[in-house]
Amino acid sequence: MKFLLSAAQPAQLESGLIQVLRVVVVAVLILQPLTRRGFGIWLGASAPLPVYFLLTLPLQLLIIALVWTPWFAHNLGRAFLPLVLALASFAIIFDKFVTLNWFIAPDARELIAQGFLLSAWFTLQMVTFFVAWQYNMGAVMFTGITLTLLDSALTLPFINPSGSLYPFFISLVVARLSIVTGVSLGIAWLMLRQRAQRAQLQSANEKLAFAATTGEQLAVSRERNRMARELHDTLAHSLSAVSVQLEAVSALWDDEPHEARKILEQATRSARNGLTEARRALHELRASPLDDLGLPLALRALAESAAARAGLRLELTLPSSADGLQPQVEQCIYRVAQEALENVIRHARARHVAVTFEQRAQQFTLRVTDDGIGFEPARVNTRAIISGHYGLRGMRERAAMVGCRLSVRSAPQRGVCVIMENGLEGHGV
């Protein structure tokens, strides 16, 4: 069984499994006194509940402690679920053993043993249900057949082979074996299909992210090559001409001052032309989406591209337009958002990112929030963070240049929130 489970178990417990398991074990603990009392009255036999619970309650509390304490699931790893299910199965069998041997009169044991086969049906079905939720079909068959046969074998000593209830016992065992195993196999098949679909979706997301990253890198490379050609054809030529003209001025200054003055004027014009071309080239470096789309749509395109690259769930809160902001302020907002999103992709290990931009008249607030690993400001050297790969210093310097304030709020396993605002009090590291 260890081989079956280790080979079948995914790297992590299926989503929602522990939550459902917690509800089930608590429900069993609450409902057991009621079902125990009703079961005994129905069969005409009653067991002293205080003594019964004194024997069975410690095992149930142990199961609840295992399921409700996160430390066990985190540290036991792959052994966690098999241990819980094995204890639950043992609790079912131990319950039957204690009741039949210690609390039931011998002449009533055969009838009550048959009743226990029915009452244990649901609990064994739940055990195989959790096996089907997490493991493959081989593990489900092994668990369903083993638990049914083991429970039937422990019930058999209380059944009279020549009695009138024996055929009912055999029919009940066969029916329970077929239904418990069959239903769980169907659930396991559905879970395998779901895992295969999730794997296909993850593969498609990875391919999409790779294509988006490749396209972005190609666009950046092409833009860099274009700017290199632009600078080479304008600024480099202008500086080269000015350099030659200044050398000529130096050679002619003493012997032909008039000619030297002419060349100096030409060098001045060349320098001015070069300065004009340099300014034009630097203007081209400004984020073009701001010119083409405006700030809200540019932020949307930037966030959607980052979310697609990293496979993140994205939440956007953006106005329809941003009016009254100076171009350099819009540029700063865009670049801060870009750097914050890059930090989320590279360092946060997040699953969700939210980008919010709010504006009232001349006041605005930009927030980029993730649910990643975060960090502890009080235990980390601020200088090391600012000078490290998080890029906070660059974002703060950009914000300060346009009269804004940038703050960062974070805590371990609580994500990071980068806030840029003007005219408001900021808080953060």
Domain 288-421, classified CATH 3.30.565.10, yes or no:
yes
Dist CA 76 CA 71 (whole Å): 8
How far, in Å, CA of 343 to CA of 395, rounded?
A: 11
For the chain, report the end-to-end CA distance as a whole number of angstroms: 52
| Global pTM value | 0.44
Q: Residue 148: beta bridge partners?
A: none
Give the Cα separation of 401 and 295 in Å (integer): 19
Hey, CA dihedral for 22, 146, 117, 37, is it positive or negative? negative
- CA-to-CA distance for 66 and 84, rounded, in angstroms? 7
Q: How far apart are CA 321 and CA 70, in angstroms?
A: 46
Q: Rounded to an integer, what distance in angstroms lies between the CA atom of residue 271 and that of residue 241? A: 9
E strands, 189-338, in order: 313-317
185: exposed, middle or buried (Cβ count in 10 Å: 0-12, 13-18, 19+): middle
Residue 69, both tokens:
């304490």
Q: What does the pLDDT read at residue 162?
A: 81
pLDDT score recorded for residue 6: 43
- Three-class secondary structure of residue 165 per DSSP: coil
One-letter amino acid for residue 228 of the chain: A
DSSP letters spanning 334-384: HHHHHHHHHHIIIII--SEEEEEEEEETTEEEEEEEE-S----GGGS-HHH
Match 């057949």 to its residue by tokens: 145
Contacts for 51 with CB less than 8 Å, ≥ 6 apart: 103
Q: Bridge-partner residues for 316, per DSSP?
A: 355
State the CB neighbour count (10 A cutoff) for residue 51: 12
Nearest Cα to 17, choosing from 149, 127, 166? 127
Query: Tens-digit pLDDT profile for the chain (429 aa)?
Result: 444 444 444 557 777 888 888 888 888 777 766 666 555 555 444 556 666 667 777 888 888 888 898 888 888 888 888 888 888 888 877 777 777 777 676 777 777 777 777 777 777 888 888 888 888 888 888 888 888 888 888 778 777 888 777 888 888 888 888 888 888 888 888 888 888 888 888 888 888 878 877 777 777 777 677 667 666 656 666 777 778 778 887 888 877 888 878 888 877 877 777 777 676 666 656 556 777 778 898 899 889 988 887 888 999 999 988 888 888 888 889 889 988 998 888 888 899 999 999 998 778 999 999 999 887 765 554 444 444 445 677 788 888 888 899 998 988 888 999 999 986 443 333
Dihedral Cα 387, 391, 396, 399, nearest 10 deg: 160
Place of tokens 């043993």: 113
Q: Which residue has the tokens 């959607």?
A: 304
pLDDT at res. 232:
65
Angle at 349 between CA 71 and CA 131, to 5 degrees: 45
Length of the chain: 429
CA 194 to chain centre: 18
Domain boundaries, the chain: 2-205, 219-284, 288-421
